[in-house]
Amino acid sequence: MLEFEAVYRKPGNTLFRHLLGTDPFDWWAGRYYVGLWGVVSMLFTLIGVAVLFTAVGQYGDWDLWRANVHAPLREYGLGFSPFLDGGAWEVVVICATGAFVSWLLREVDICRKLEMGYHVPLMFGFAISAWVTLQIIRPLWMGCWCEGFDLSFTGHLTWVSNTGFRYQNFYLNPFHALGVTGFFLTAMVLAMHGSAILGTYNTSKNPVQEEANVDNFWRDYIGYSIGEYGIHWLGFWLAIFTLVVSDLCILTSGTIFYDWVEFWQFQHLPAFWLH
Amino acid sequence: MNIKRLLGPLVIVCTLALAGVAQPLLDTARAAGPEKPVTGNNSPLGVGHFDRNPADAEKGYGPVDQAAPMDFSTQNANVPKTYVPGKLYNVQVLKQYSYATLLNQMNYYTQSLGVQCTYCHNVANFAYDTPTKKISRTMQIMSNQVASGWIDPVKKDYPNYSVSGAVGCVTCHRGAPRMAVKWNIVPVAYLDYKAKTTKQAGYVVNSMYSASKSLGVNCLFCHNTADFVSLQYYPTNKIAHRMWAMVDKINHQYLPANVKAVTCYTCHQGAKWPQALVTAGLDQTPVEAHASHPAVHENPGAHLASGVAH
Amino acid sequence: MATVINRPIAMPPVQHPDPSPMDDADLLGVRIGEPFRVPFLKRFGVDTQLGTLWLGTWGVLSVMLFLAGVGVQILGGLTLVNGDLGAYAHYLFNIQLLPPDGLGPAKSLAEGGFWQINTALFAGSVLCWAGRCYERLMRYHWRPYLFFAYLSAILLSATIWVFRPLLMGTWAEAPAMGLNGDLDWAQNFSVLWGNLYYNPWHMLAIFFLFGSTMLWGMHGATILATSAEGSHHEVAEIKDMHSGSHKSMLFWRWVMGFNANPKTIHDWIWWFSVGVVVSSAIGIITTGTFVNDWYVWGVDHGIVAQYGDMTRDAVNQRPVPLDITVNMSMPRP
């Protein structure tokens, strides 16, 4: 345990206990908090990994990069498919989703224990939304599980490539463009924040001067200093924006729009300022 | 309720409404003026759209001037000065055809191109050569070559990717002497070589996009995008290679110099297989059947086929 | 029980920077404008003071070069539409200035001259901004982390626009100047060089990129969640941790068995964000020089399934009858 940890390790305050008055898993295993949701998450993980390894073993290729548990074939639509023709994929996706969601709920429990805001599980929820959108919502909307991506290292890259070209030029998807902008902006702002802290901690005996140095630099450099709280607010919301827009980019492809080059022809509508 | 907060959205809505109202008015104003050409070929601006212009009568490619005096000195030296109806003179490409079959073929030309006899012939002397008549010979040779040299081999090699029906004049012309030109971004010039730089790859990608729109498919129809260059195993990819070679040949060998390039769209017009096919090579349907068909425009050559002097 | 969205705490009072000999030595050393407050921003918890902005010689040079570049871009674009402003606005996204072929100066403005001028202007602008960055960092006695981060970003741009075209022997390998032009370059580059998804540095770069967003989500959320206890005063917390930092660290320790501290988390985020651009730069510079076709490279190194396993057609995933053999020996550029 860390030197200050003991005082924070208090039983109680979890969701389960709040609802049902008792929580049989409310304890720590070493440094890890267990909790009911930890057990559920572990179970999902073990089942999913077992199925994954079984499928990979039956396909025959154990190479870490090449191994491929592929999505169901189109002919099975939204139903269940035979194990090696996509059934394994379906089981692993269900287990993975279950594991992610219970991990999220475990984080909620820990937030409650530590009496902090729920920002972290909220953020994780948005991250899960990307997985769920890709593997569950979009296939449901498009009417077949085959639209999900293969569970494979290079296999899922091939899926990304093929899906992009399926809609002619995915770079012209405006949501994709916004998402890419979001990702790069996030990286840039992250570098700025990391540099700010790493560049100024322990540089001066005067803590007020240290903080002022940060503000004054940013005001000189770009005319605005967002503040210590503000930068974290910005990073938080930039990440959420990026994830939401990315979800939209894949959700609209193949459902509402089929050709992102064609999409931009709408600009040929009221162009009354031409000629 | 703070009215000032509504001002912004109100301004936006009004602007949009104004645009919607003004647009048709401006359209009518614009319709009076001449059409400005839109760039398309090779342009970094991207796709160009051209509309069919059947009334386009550029020099040498419009209907023959029937009033112009006939000149028998140079290229028409072997043509009889007096034309006798019912006899064949100066037939070069369709040499083996009988009179009736030849007239059927002429009929087919007029319907496929949506023209009258006067488009190619001086009707005082049908044997007299005109620029459009000479082009039609090239076109017929081309049509034969396309069918026997490219389409038939594809059908033989890939029976699962073929439909019955033959390519003919109507497949490209579709009832107009000048064909629909669309998706003609950088056709074949750049496919004579392999792209060496990313910039050149861009031109090829543009061509590929125009091909995919011409067929109404996406990239995955021919490609596995894991590697465009080396993965060329789909049958559609193989067929496409032949088609590109064919289009290249047509553009370089058969077309008049100032005609816009033929591309995939010319025949396919947005479908995987061209919709306008003739059933079996030449159209052999008797003339009478054409005349009685209500949908077909009046057979311009009927009175000639019956042998009646005009 | 803590609420989801914490109220932001009060901002410390504004301080104007102390005078400094570096500020005085600069020819254009002036802070423009008076700072003013935008109270609306308080509801987001961000600082409400806007301004002042430091001009500085480097900054002025940078902005002037940038504006000149924008001017050349617009001028060059107008030549593509024959001066028609309406058409320019209509085709705004598609207007692009293409680079010339070969390595020398372009034959004419239209055939790559505009591109070359533009590249030089924007390069100058970016480098002047780096000078501004370094100069301001030194004036405020910062360690130069920001400068090196910015330098690595410049490294990526320079790799794409300058170093790699030089290595490949032609400017035509560089992106065109334009909105869709840049996007098209990304597509064309990947198509020509065998699909960049199989480039391991591309994979690393994406790992760092998504990882950066993930870390930002984690760090931002953690600080916001514990800000009621002052965890956002990170510089102070590094010296002396209070309950906010304790909770941040314990949260992650209990969740995943590992935690950073108020200082080392910033090491993580700095290296992840710099890792994005550095991996990308390596990935770009090795394409076309050491590796001609990343898919073939992937197959050779066993990370990609052989074509035999890719016999399912990409959309319908039915087996397709393969025709003849995969043409691995296609002539490469």
User: What confidence tens digit (pLDDT) does each residue in A83-97 have?
Assistant: 988 899 999 999 999
Give the side-chain half-sphere CA count within 13 A for B153: 13
C22-34: average pLDDT: 79
Helix (H, G, I), strand (E, B) or coil at A68: strand
Which residue among A74, A117, A216 sits closest to C2, beta carbon to beta carbon? A117
Q: Which residues of A touch B36 (CB under 8 A)?
A: 275
Taken as a whole, chain B contains a residue count of: 310
Find out whether A167 and B218 touch, Cβ atoms under 8 Å.
yes
Which residues belong to CATH 1.20.85.10 in chain C?
56-192, 201-310
Give the pLDDT of residue B183. 66
pLDDT grade for C145, boundaries at 50, 70 and 90: very high
Give the pLDDT of residue A176. 96
User: What confidence tens digit (pLDDT) does each residue in A66-79 have?
Assistant: 888 888 888 888 99
Q: Which two three-digit tokens encode residue C149?
A: 């981060």
Task: Identify the CA nearest to A134 among candidates A150, A119, A121, A118.
Answer: A150
CA distance C145 to A200: 10
pLDDT more than 90, % of chain B: 0
User: For chain B, which residues make up each domain, given as ranges?
Assistant: 99-305
Q: Are β-strands C53-54 and C31-32 bridged in parallel, bridged antiparallel, or unpaired?
A: antiparallel
- Please state, in angstroms and as integers, the Cα–Cα distance from residue C46 to each residue in A176, A226, A228, A253, C12, following that order: 28, 5, 8, 36, 12
DSSP 8-state class, residue B149: I
Range list of H helices, A115-137: 119-132
**Residue C295 pLDDT > 50, yes or no?**
yes
Cβ–Cβ of C144/A61 closer than 8 Å? no
CA distance A169 to C183: 9
Q: What is the ipTM of this complex?
A: 0.93
Q: Give me the phi and psi of C226, to 5 degrees please.
A: -110, 10
Taken as a whole, chain C contains a residue count of: 333
Cβ–Cβ of B44/C95 closer than 8 Å? yes
Q: Which two three-digit tokens encode residue C187?
A: 């597509």
Give the pLDDT of residue C83. 83
Contacts 24+ apart (CB under 8 A), B132-139: B132/B60, B132/B61, B132/B62, B132/B63, B132/B64, B135/B61, B135/B256, B136/B109, B137/B92, B137/B93, B138/B254, B139/B169, B139/B254
pLDDT grade for A80, boundaries at 50, 70 and 90: very high
Find out whether A67 and A153 touch, Cβ atoms under 8 Å.
yes
Give the pLDDT of residue C108. 85
Find out whether C33 and C52 touch, Cβ atoms under 8 Å.
yes
pLDDT grade for C163, boundaries at 50, 70 and 90: very high
Q: Which secondary structure element, helix H or strand E, spans residue B12, and what is its range?
A: helix B3-32
Q: Which fold has domain C56-192?
A: Photosynthetic Reaction Center, subunit M; domain 1 (1.20.85)
For C60-106, the DSSP string reads HHHHHHHHHHHHHHHHHHHHHTTT-HHHHHHTTTT-EEPPPSSSS--
User: What confidence tens digit (pLDDT) does each residue in B200-235 have?
Assistant: 888 888 888 888 888 888 888 888 788 887 777 778
Contacts 24+ apart (CB under 8 A), A52-58: A52/A88, A52/A92, A52/A151, A54/A88, A55/A83, A55/A84, A55/A88, A55/A89, A55/A92, A58/A83, A58/A84
**Residue C311 pLDDT > 70, yes or no?**
no
Task: Identify the CA nearest to A120 among candidates A33, A240, A30, A231.
Answer: A240
Distance from CA of A270 to the nearest CA of B (A): 6
Dihedral over Cα of A90, A96, A101, A106: its sign: positive
Contacts 24+ apart (CB under 8 A), C229-235: C230/C9, C231/C262, C232/A228, C232/A229, C232/A232, C233/A211, C233/A228, C234/A197, C234/A201, C234/A228, C234/C262, C234/C266, C235/A197, C235/A200, C235/A201, C235/A207, C235/A210, C235/A211, C235/A214
Give the pLDDT of residue B30. 43
Q: Range with the lowest mean pLDDT among A4-13, A17-26, A40-49, A190-199?
A: A17-26
Q: Are β-strands C36-37 and A28-29 bridged in parallel, bridged antiparallel, or unpaired?
A: unpaired
Give the pLDDT of residue B87. 83
- Please state, in angstroms and as integers, the Cα–Cα distance from residue C171 to each residue in C112, C115, C164, C280, following that order: 9, 10, 9, 19
**Residue C309 pLDDT > 50, yes or no?**
no
Q: Which residues of B touch C174 (CB under 8 A)?
A: 198
The one-letter amino acid at A129: S
Q: Which residues of A touch C239 (CB under 8 A)?
A: 201-202, 207
Q: Which two three-digit tokens encode residue C197?
A: 């998804």
**Residue A11 pLDDT > 90, yes or no?**
no
Whether A139 contacts chain C with CB within 8 A: no
Cβ–Cβ of B19/A272 closer than 8 Å? yes
Helix (H, G, I), strand (E, B) or coil at C50: strand
Taken as a whole, chain A contains a residue count of: 275
In chain A the domains, ranked by start, together with CATH numbers, are 1-166 (1.20.85.10), 171-260 (1.20.85.10)
Distance from CA of A158 to the nearest CA of B (A): 6
pLDDT grade for C1, boundaries at 50, 70 and 90: very low
Give the pLDDT of residue C315. 53
Q: Which two three-digit tokens encode residue C169?
A: 């022997």
Dihedral over Cα of C193, C194, C197, C200: its sign: negative
Q: Which two three-digit tokens encode residue B260?
A: 């816009």
Which residue did the predictor score with more confidence, C332 or B66? Answer: B66
Whether A167 contacts chain B with CB within 8 A: yes
> Which of A59, A134, A157, A249 to substitute to test the interface with C, most C CBs within 10 Å?
A157
Which residues, given as ranges, of chain B have pLDDT below 70? 1-2, 19-61, 180-193, 256-261, 279-310
Q: Range with the lowest mean pLDDT among A99-103, B85-89, C145-149, C303-307?
A: C303-307
C148-168: average pLDDT: 96
- The set of residues, in sequence order, having a beta carbon less than 8 Å from that of B120 and lying 6+ positions away, is B64, B109, B130, B132, B133, B136
CA distance A224 to C280: 30
- Please state, in angstroms and as integers, the Cα–Cα distance from residue B273 to each residue in B148, B149, B151, B162, following that order: 17, 18, 11, 8
Find out whether A267 and C90 touch, Cβ atoms under 8 Å.
yes
Give the pLDDT of residue B20. 66
Which residue did the predictor score with more confidence, B1 or C149? Answer: C149
pLDDT grade for A101, boundaries at 50, 70 and 90: very high
Which residue among B212, B213, B220 sits closest to A162, beta carbon to beta carbon? B220
Highest-confidence range of B35-44, B205-214, C63-72, C81-90, by mean pLDDT?
C63-72
Q: Range with the lowest mean pLDDT among B201-210, C220-229, C271-280?
A: B201-210
Whether A13 contacts chain B with CB within 8 A: no
Mean pLDDT of all residues in chain C? Answer: 86
Which residue among C173, C307, C328 sits closest to B198, beta carbon to beta carbon? C173
User: What confidence tens digit (pLDDT) does each residue in C108-139 have?
Assistant: 888 889 999 999 999 999 999 999 999 999 99
End-to-end CA distance of chain C: 64
CA distance B297 to B112: 11
Find out whether C228 and A232 touch, Cβ atoms under 8 Å.
no
C52 preceded by cis ω (within 30°)?
yes
pLDDT grade for C218, boundaries at 50, 70 and 90: very high
> Over the Cα atoms of chain C, what is R_g?
25
Helix (H, G, I), strand (E, B) or coil at C112: helix
Q: How many CB pairs under 8 A join A and B?
A: 40
C186-192: average pLDDT: 92
Cα–chain center distance at B111: 14
Only one residue has tokens 């992650």, namely: C252
CA distance C80 to A237: 40
For C189-237, the DSSP string reads HHHHTT-GGG-HHHHHHHHHHHHHHHHHHHHHHHHHHHGGGTTT-HHHH
Whether A61 contacts chain C with CB within 8 A: yes
C236-246: average pLDDT: 93
**Residue C9 pLDDT > 70, yes or no?**
no
For A74-119, the DSSP string reads GGGTTS---GGGTHHHHHHHHHHHHHHHHHHHHHHHHHHHHT--SH
Give the pLDDT of residue C221. 97
Q: What is the CATH number of domain C201-310?
A: 1.20.85.10
User: What confidence tens digit (pLDDT) does each residue in A116-174 have?
Assistant: 999 999 999 999 999 999 999 999 999 989 889 989 898 889 889 888 988 888 998 99
pLDDT more than 70, % of chain A: 96
End-to-end CA distance of chain A: 75
CA distance B11 to B24: 21
Give the pLDDT of residue B57. 39
User: What confidence tens digit (pLDDT) does each residue in A252-263 have?
Assistant: 998 999 888 888
Distance from CA of C192 to the nearest CA of B (A): 6
**Residue C5 pLDDT > 50, yes or no?**
no
Range list of H helices, A23-86: 35-59
Give the pLDDT of residue B24. 56
Q: Using CB atoms, list chains with 3+ pairs below 8 Å to chain C.
A: A, B
CA distance A55 to A3: 45
pLDDT grade for C307, boundaries at 50, 70 and 90: low
Give the torsion through C-alpha atoms of A101, A106, A107, A110, to 10 deg: 170
pLDDT more than 90, % of chain C: 59
